[in-house]
Chain A
């Protein structure tokens, strides 16, 4: 079964004919998408390890829980409302309606979705949901080690509904960016540029950690970072190849590109490391894998394998030097979400317009020709979509943070930050050894000011 995105696009251009004809349900496509959905969901705990390893040990749990929390908070928000806001309303250009509210009208048939699919509608909803979850989790990298956990939870849920959902609509839900002819295979704009810009804004609104720029803040567990990068890569096969929405030739090229683009980024990154400092670094290599994956994401199903290798290699440079610049700047985007995902996403989106081709390795699985295939205009369209995403994501993230800040403080006190977010936000330690821990009767430690219904005698 072919990915029918082009028909959908043409349909919406002609004015809402998108749902004219649904193809048959395909067992093969369904089988692949069941697996792919699980793979993408795994990326969020993988990110928890990637981010968790990069922070200091006193903040390990807090950092990892920001990603884990997204699985629940954003997951539920997506099912109840987010999906409907993102991917309904074929006539609308800017936002979905409430026709899928609480998963109304989302069934096991392959009909009724905003696009033409060969898998159950409800599975497609879940697959799209995993993207929303990882995107929200990505933003947390900018504000780790200082943002109060309850404030982050509220921000994350609002962000998934009012920043992610509209952007997903514009790109994948037949919105105005799709109508314009901007192509984004698996979410370079919606996921990575979006998260990268939100990260910059969040880092600036919250301000730096108290130790930032004053003392070295080093990763506490580099093996965790490598483990996270490995699992992210594995999950990304579902992210990119799953974005073909079927077990197709398109999925195959996306899969293979997802293997070789990060390979090229890793190689180039290691060489830059080697030439600059004489040593290849582990954190650098883990970062390179993620950057390569980000760069190939928007192009995964639109370019040949050699183009993917070139894209991965080119993509190493901007992110590498953005990282160096950021570390010396005043901006405490703590885990470099902007340099990795923002810059990587922009490079990927623009290069998609350069390397895209209709006929890839003998099969017509692409949807457009890029600069090299003789359509230079595509680069401008891609750049315009990037610009829209940057402006929208930046402005909305700022508004939401101010809103959440008016309800509850965003930032932990300097004292809590010093003690560590694990103890102050969660009352747990990542690496406690239990020495000096005295078992207490749970009845006696009710939160201050709240009387317990069943009280002890003491």
Chain B
């Protein structure tokens, strides 16, 4: 089992979700975050106060997957989130020690396999 953590552009999240659902990856968590990954900086002005926005809005996805789902998940995220410009985001793949499904108490692979 792996935990796939991805940080993507907010305006690409719909494309990413669409690609993930097509790849039959169903269980996921997303959160709005702020981050910086080398994109061109934005300058904003509020009544004479000029600021450089170092942090951009991003969306973080966390997806626990069984081993044979790792590859399709990553492919779907890369396909959905890419624009080719700096700031497209990252995908991290982390090892997972243990997974439990709260409702049933199922463990590990059974816990990350979607119920139909």
Q: Could you tell me which A residues sit within 8 Å of B by CB distance?
A: 211, 214-215, 415, 418-420, 423, 427-429, 432, 434-440, 442, 445
- Distance (whole angstroms) from the CB of A307 to the closest CB of chain B: 48
Q: Are B14 and A428 in contact (CB under 8 A)?
A: no
- Distance (whole angstroms) from the CB of B105 to the closest CB of chain A: 36
Kindly name the residue among A436, A439, A442 whose own CB sees the greatest number of chain B CB atoms within 10 A.
Answer: A436
Binds A, one of B42-50, B60-68, B71-79: B42-50
The answer to the question of B24 belonging to the interface, with a C-beta cut-off of 8 Å to chain A, is no
Q: Which of B45, B52, B54, B85 contacts A428 (CB 8 A)?
A: B45
Complex interface residues of chain B between 44 and 100 (CB less than 8 A to chain A):
44-46, 48-55, 83, 85
- Distance (whole angstroms) from the CB of A70 to the closest CB of chain B: 22
Please report whether the interface of chain A is mostly helix, strand, loop or mixed according to DSSP.
loop
Given A442-B50, A445-B50; A436-B43 close (CB under 8 Å): no
Enumerate chain A residues within 8 angstroms of B12, measured Cβ to Cβ: 418
Enumerate chain B residues within 8 angstroms of A434, measured Cβ to Cβ: 51
Q: Which of B14, B42, B83 contacts A427 (CB 8 A)?
A: B42
Complex interface residues of chain B between 21 and 40 (CB less than 8 A to chain A):
34, 36
Enumerate chain A residues within 8 angstroms of B43, measured Cβ to Cβ: 427, 440, 445
The answer to the question of B2 belonging to the interface, with a C-beta cut-off of 8 Å to chain A, is no
Q: Are A432 and B9 in contact (CB under 8 A)?
A: no
Q: Are A440 and B51 in contact (CB under 8 A)?
A: yes
A429 to B55, CA, bound (A): 13
Q: Could you tell me which B residues sit within 8 Å of A by CB distance?
A: 9, 11-12, 14, 34, 36, 42-46, 48-55, 83, 85
Q: Are A423 and B42 in contact (CB under 8 A)?
A: yes
Q: How many A-B residue pairs have CB under 8 A?
A: 50
Enumerate chain A residues within 8 angstroms of B45, measured Cβ to Cβ: 427-428
Q: Write the chain A residue with the least CB distance to B14.
A: A215
Q: Write the chain A residue with the least CB distance to B36.
A: A436
Q: Which of A418, A423, A435, A442 contacts B48 (CB 8 A)?
A: A442
A214 to B18, CA, bound (A): 10
Q: Which of A419, A437, A439 contacts B11 (CB 8 A)?
A: A419
- Distance (whole angstroms) from the CB of A433 to the closest CB of chain B: 9
- Distance (whole angstroms) from the CB of A218 to the closest CB of chain B: 12
A73 to B26, CA, bound (A): 51
Q: Write the chain A residue with the least CB distance to B48.
A: A442
Q: List 27 A-B residue pairs with CB atoms under 8 Å apart, sorted by A's residue number.
A: A215-B14, A415-B83, A415-B85, A418-B9, A418-B83, A420-B11, A423-B42, A423-B44, A427-B43, A427-B44, A428-B44, A428-B45, A428-B46, A432-B53, A435-B34, A436-B53, A436-B54, A437-B51, A437-B53, A438-B52, A439-B49, A439-B50, A439-B51, A440-B43, A440-B51, A442-B50, A445-B43
A253 to B103, CA, bound (A): 65
Q: Are A440 and B52 in contact (CB under 8 A)?
A: yes
Q: Are A437 and B85 in contact (CB under 8 A)?
A: no
- Distance (whole angstroms) from the CB of A372 to the closest CB of chain B: 52
Given A215-B14, A415-B85; A437-B54 close (CB under 8 Å): yes
A214 to B17, CA, bound (A): 12
Q: Write the chain B residue with the least CB distance to A417.
A: B11
A214 to B34, CA, bound (A): 26
Q: Are A438 and B42 in contact (CB under 8 A)?
A: no
Question: Can you add 6 more A-B contacts, CB < 8 Å, to A418-B12, A436-B36?
Answer: A415-B85, A423-B44, A435-B34, A437-B53, A438-B54, A445-B43
Enumerate chain A residues within 8 angstroms of B49, measured Cβ to Cβ: 439
Q: Which of A420, A428, A436, A440 contacts B34 (CB 8 A)?
A: A436
